[in-house]
Amino acid sequence: MQDLNVISKINAEAAQRDIPVQQAAGKFVVAEYSGLHYVAHHVFDTEVDANAKAIEIGNKVGQRASVYNPTNV
């Protein structure tokens, strides 16, 4: 049986693999972090929406965001 921290890390790594897939599909992706730990990612059609979400996340204490642009431009 795996430790809960190990399971959480494996799940986060699996979710992060979706980011380049979404970028290749022409989407803007905002990755959300709590400290150094990946929490989730959000997918948007426009840069404006992605930046708005990144600002919203960044306004929370201990949270940060990274915006990834589409790669199929």
- Enter the pTM of the model: 0.85
Does residue 69 contact residue 46 with C-beta atoms inside 8 Å? Answer: no
Asked if residue 73 is part of any domain, the answer here is no
Domain range holding 57?
4-68
The per-residue pLDDT for 12 is 84
Asked if residue 53 is part of any domain, the answer here is yes
Task: Please count the structural domains in the chain.
Answer: 1
Query: Tens of pLDDT along the chain (73 residues)?
Result: 678 888 888 888 888 899 999 999 999 999 999 988 899 999 999 999 999 999 999 999 999 999 999 997 6
Residues 6+ apart with CB under 8 A from 63: 32, 33, 34, 39, 57
Asked if residue 34 is part of any domain, the answer here is yes
The per-residue pLDDT for 49 is 97
Does residue 33 contact residue 64 with C-beta atoms inside 8 Å? Answer: yes
Per DSSP (E only), the strands in 1-73 are 28-34, 37-44, 63-68
